[in-house]
């Protein structure tokens, strides 16, 4: 995607832009007069002629009355053959780096004599937007007056024709059918609206009210709880009142998770609503040692145990001791970083009998649930009888080859039996290694010398050298990798608000489970548990903060030895190179001892990881962690090459984003912060080494589908790269959709980088407003060389509009609906 540019980078253009900037600051008439003589007088006759022709056309074909030329709200100043600047008459300013709104786009197209189809398209976009906004106001006005007549339905139908907004249209319809007391239809509409745009407290309330009208108090309680939770986030002093039936349900049920408020980042913790305390939250609770009851309809059926460490049952005992001290200990427990063992179980029983099929051998996971810290279970079959100690809430594994009875004085959580055996249709090992925050952009600038072992191993496969993350931090990026969906499609956008992955979006782990793999997260955090991103795994070993490579490799090799008779799909999340602010985490010992006092104290404490600056401390520490990680992984690669043939495995190494600590200028979507790793080796992967084609994090999903042969859902954003026989990409899109901050988008091609940043903040529901956004176009790799070319900018602008069409609606869309 290249274009020959006219000489627009010269002194002439620079001076004119500087004059325009001075006018915007001082509004000196002489400056504007000079600019008119240089950039406008020679073209005015042509522009007026174009406008009058187009004005007549729209009057005849659209019955549209347009203002006279002299009354237009804008003027054009032509700086070069390829570049114009708009002057906004009402606001008396030149739009420098600020994109014109749809109305200005339309008028500019009329003046410049653009292709008639382009002009009509711009008019239609402007008309649809204005008509949608007008209809929205009328519909809301009728709702406020409680008027639900046939006119209301006609307005909603017209709104749908203009906006094509599934979420808001079905919300409006749900309100209508509820008013007609057709509660089942209302519920269908509200749930359809929820699937389209999940973060919506008012919709949560409408869903709860509808379930209550249907006498489904359990579901009503769940949705009232979510409504309360999100409104308390917005206004801590809000008061809530409910019907007697709902109040009784809240206060008289033990609320085994069905009406709990989860902290989406920190499974297995939650809080409960206590209406006797005016809607305040109870003290922190935990599902540890119990089912993860949350969201029972997704049938994830995880039991929350503890990964063993030290004496049998000691981890549970320590957890219980700390947690019993009171509410404020939940944070202490998170910082202590307990490792949880989320295991899918078939039930909790005191006695079970298991009988493998003829010739079959099973591995059975078991844990003691409510006995002593170390309790005894009796195993017996026709050849053998024995007693075995089981640690409390700590899974043990038993090989079962014949009909066996298990009996205990305590209750046992019984994991799903793991069936042994290899299939020629599967690989013996598919390993996904997520190296959190590994900046491939930085590694490239140093000619890969920081990762010699990683580079050597994957040079015998494929290394994507132009790979970019869609998001700037882990929570949405992990969901993109696991689903192949951009954040605005998965709706896993913001780690501050609970949303869940819709069941029709199949995750990688669900796909691998369907193929017959034993699916394990051998090391991970808990970010994907409550939202459903990790729901396909049989077992998830996870903690909240530090996921170190040494532990990961040891645990992974133990797992591969233990389950060598299975076809394994394993996910491993490692955070060795993820930077943390120095208020929370110590830097490595070599960093502490080798830096001067000035450099050792150069970092600003308390910054979030995405905002850490480039200091000697940050760079030195991250480089050391990178070298150390590479050294540790060398042992894993040696194990794989020794124990598996090349056609028996697929190793997939990637990062979810890069890091800011190498950037001279902080920009969330920079090559260092969004330039991510992606490389593969093994069965079906040609050993071509470095590949320069563009890819992004959503492409990992279709690549793996291609290699292991699972079906790709219709709605995915990932594209199969050309080196795997796919269509490949001409550009990648990265964006930051974070409520309370400006929306940022970056489109990259092989040659250019196009950036957008909005004036307004992203709303809590993930909607944005591109009106008046700042835009800039650069040469790739040189953000000091801005490109001024209207044709190129228009091309990128259309890509941006297409990408954001589902959520670029904030200017008339209500904040929380």
**What's the rounded mean pLDDT across residues 422-451?**
97
**Which residues are 779's β-sheet partners?**
752, 782
State percent of the chain over pLDDT 90.
65
| Amino acid 343: pLDDT | 97
Query: Does the bond joining 612 to the residue before it have cis omega, within 30 degrees of 0?
Result: no
Q: Report H helices in 690-753.
A: 700-708
Q: How far apart are CA 769 and CA 760, in angstroms?
A: 7
Residue 186: per-residue pLDDT: 98
Q: Above 80 in pLDDT, residue 257? A: no
> By C-alpha distance, which of 289, 299, 250, 252 is closest to 271?
250
Overall pTM surpassing 0.75 (yes/no): yes
The string of pLDDT tens digits covering residues 217-238 is 878 888 887 887 777 665 656 6
234 by DSSP, 3-state: which?
Answer: helix
**How confident is the model at residue 146, as a pLDDT?**
95
- Residue 508 confidence (pLDDT): 98
| The pLDDT of residue 197 is above 80 | yes
| pLDDT over threshold 80, residue 816 | no
Strands 568-574 and 518-524: parallel
Report, as an integer, the average pLDDT of 484-499. Answer: 90
CA angle 125, 127, 133 (to 5 degrees): 105
Using DSSP's 3-state secondary structure scheme, residue 500 falls into coil
Say what the pLDDT of residue 256 is. 41
pLDDT band at 628 (very low <50, low <70, confident <90, very high): very high
Q: Are 372 and 392 in contact (CB under 8 A)?
A: yes
Per-residue model confidence (pLDDT) at position 255: 46
Q: Summarize the confidence of residues 626-647 as an average pLDDT.
A: 98
Q: What pLDDT score was predicted for residue 334?
A: 74
Residue 71 scores a pLDDT above 60: yes
The Cβ of residue 230 has, within 10 Å, a number of other Cβ atoms equal to 21
- Tell me the longest C-alpha to C-alpha distance in the chain: 104
Q: Indicate if the alpha-carbon torsion angle 589, 591, 596, 602 is positive or negative.
A: negative
pLDDT of 379: 92
Query: What digits encode the pLDDT tens for the residues 324-381?
Result: 887 667 777 777 889 999 999 999 999 999 999 998 999 999 999 988 888 888 999 8
Q: How confident is the model at residue 270 (pLDDT cuts 50, 70, 90)?
A: confident
| Confidence label for 7 from pLDDT (cuts 50, 70 and 90) | very low
Q: What is the C-alpha to C-alpha distance for residues 816 and 143, in angstroms, rounded to an integer?
A: 16
Q: Per residue in 561-578, pLDDT tens?
A: 999 999 999 999 999 999
d(C-alpha 145, C-alpha 417), whole Å: 59
Q: Write out pLDDT tens, residues 133-156.
A: 899 999 999 999 999 999 999 999
Confidence of residue 1 (pLDDT cuts 50, 70, 90): very low
Looking at residue 198, its pLDDT comes to: 84
Average pLDDT score, the chain: 89
77-108 burial, b at 16+ Cβ within 10 Å, e below that, comes to bbbbebbbbbbbeeeebbbeebbbbbbbbbbb
pLDDT by residue (tens digit) across 89-123?
999 999 998 887 888 988 999 999 888 888 888 88
């Amino acid at each position: 995607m290249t274009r020959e540019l006219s000489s627009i980078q010269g002194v002439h253009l620079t001076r004119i832009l500087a004059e325009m900037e001075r006018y915007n600051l001082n509004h000196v008439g002489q400056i504007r007069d000079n600019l008119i003589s240089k950039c406008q007088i020679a073209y005015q006759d042509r522009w007026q002629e174009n406008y009058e022709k187009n004005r007549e056309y729209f009057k005849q074909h659209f019955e549209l009355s347009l203002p006279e030329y002299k009354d237009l709200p804008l003027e054009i100043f032509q700086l070069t053959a390829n570049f114009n600047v708009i002057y906004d008459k009402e606001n008396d300013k030149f739009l420098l780096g600020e994109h014109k709104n749809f109305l200005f786009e339309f008028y500019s197209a009329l003046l410049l004599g653009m292709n008639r189809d382009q002009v009509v398209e711009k008019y239609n976009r402007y008309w649809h937007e204005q008509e949608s906004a007008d209809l929205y106001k009328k519909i809301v006005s009728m709702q406020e007056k409680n008027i639900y007549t046939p006119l209301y339905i006609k307005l909603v139908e017209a709104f749908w024709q203009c906006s094509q907004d599934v979420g808001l249209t079905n919300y409006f319809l749900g309100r209508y059918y509820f008013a007609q007391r057709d509660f089942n239809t209302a519920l269908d509409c509200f749930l359809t609206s929820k699937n389209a745009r999940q973060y919506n407290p008012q919709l949560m309330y409408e869903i709860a009210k509808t379930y209550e009208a249907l006498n489904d108090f359990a579901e009503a309680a769940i949705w009232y709880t979510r409504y309360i939770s999100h409104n308390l986030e917005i206004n801590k002093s809000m008061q809530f009142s409910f019907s007697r039936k709902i109040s009784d349900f809240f206060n008289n049920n033990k609320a085994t998770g069905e009406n709990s408020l989860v902290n989406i980042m920190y499974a297995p913790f939650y809080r409960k609503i206590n209406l006797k305390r005016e809607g305040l939250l109870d003290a922190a609770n935990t599902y540890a040692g119990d089912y993860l009851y949350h969201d029972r309809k997704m049938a994830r059926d995880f039991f929350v145990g503890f990964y063993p460490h030290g004496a049998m049952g000691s981890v549970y005992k320590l957890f219980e001791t700390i947690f019993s001290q009171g509410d404020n200990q939940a944070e202490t427990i998170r910082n202590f970083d307990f490792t949880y063992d989320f295991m899918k179980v078939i039930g909790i029983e005191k006695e079970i009998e298991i009988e493998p099929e003829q010739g079959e051998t099973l591995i059975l996971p078991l844990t003691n649930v409510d006995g002593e810290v170390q309790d005894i279970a009796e195993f017996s079959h026709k050849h053998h009888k024995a007693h075995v100690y089981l640690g409390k809430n700590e899974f043990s594994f038993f090989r079962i080859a014949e009909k066996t009875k298990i009996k205990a004085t305590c209750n046992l959580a019984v994991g799903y039996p793991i069936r042994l055996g290899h299939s020629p249709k599967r690989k013996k090992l598919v390993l996904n290694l997520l190296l959190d925050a590994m900046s491939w952009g930085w590694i490239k600038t140093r000619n890969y010398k920081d990762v010699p072992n990683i580079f050597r191993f994957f040079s015998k496969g494929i290394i994507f050298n132009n790979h970019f993350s869609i998001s700037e931090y882990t929570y949405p990026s992990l969901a993109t990798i696991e689903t192949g969906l951009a954040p605005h499609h998965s709706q896993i956008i913001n780690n501050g608000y609970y949303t869940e992955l819709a069941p029709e979006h199949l995750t990688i782990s669900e796909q691998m489970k369907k193929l017959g793999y034993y699916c394990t997260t051998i090391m991970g955090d808990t970010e994907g548990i409550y939202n459903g991103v990790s729901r396909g795994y049989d077992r998830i070993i996870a903690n909240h903060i530090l996921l170190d490579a040494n532990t990961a490799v040891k645990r992974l090799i133990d797992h591969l030895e233990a389950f060598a008779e299975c076809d394994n799909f394993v996910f491993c999340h490692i955070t060795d190179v993820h930077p943390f602010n120095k208020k929370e985490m110590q830097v490595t010992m070599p960093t502490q001892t080798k830096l001067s006092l000035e450099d050792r104290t150069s970092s600003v404490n308390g910054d979030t990881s995405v905002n850490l600056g480039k200091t000697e401390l940050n760079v030195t520490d991250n480089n050391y962690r990178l070298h150390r990680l590479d050294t540790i992984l060398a042992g894993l690669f040696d194990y794989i090459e020794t124990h598996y043939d090349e056609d028996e495995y697929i190793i997939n190494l990637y990062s979810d984003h890069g890091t800011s600590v190498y950037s001279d200028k902080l920009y969330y979507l920079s090559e260092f912060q969004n330039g991510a790793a992606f490389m593969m080796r093994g069965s079906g992967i040609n050993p071509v080494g470095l590949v320069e084609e563009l890819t992004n994090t959503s492409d990992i999903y279709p690549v793996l589908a291609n290699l292991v042969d699972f079906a790709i859902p219709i709605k995915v954003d990932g594209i199969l790269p050309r080196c795997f026989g796919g269509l490949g990409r001409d550009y990648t899109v990265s964006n930051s959709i974070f409520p309370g901050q400006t929306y940022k988008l970056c489109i990259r091609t092989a040659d250019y980088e196009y950036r957008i940043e909005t004036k307004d903040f992203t709303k809590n529901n993930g909607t944005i407003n591109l009106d008046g956004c700042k835009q800039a176009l650069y040469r790739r790799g040189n953000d000091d060389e801005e490109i001024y070319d209207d044709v190129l900018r228009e091309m990128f602008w259309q890509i941006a509009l297409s990408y954001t069409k589902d959520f670029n609606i904030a200017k008339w869309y209500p904040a929380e609906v």
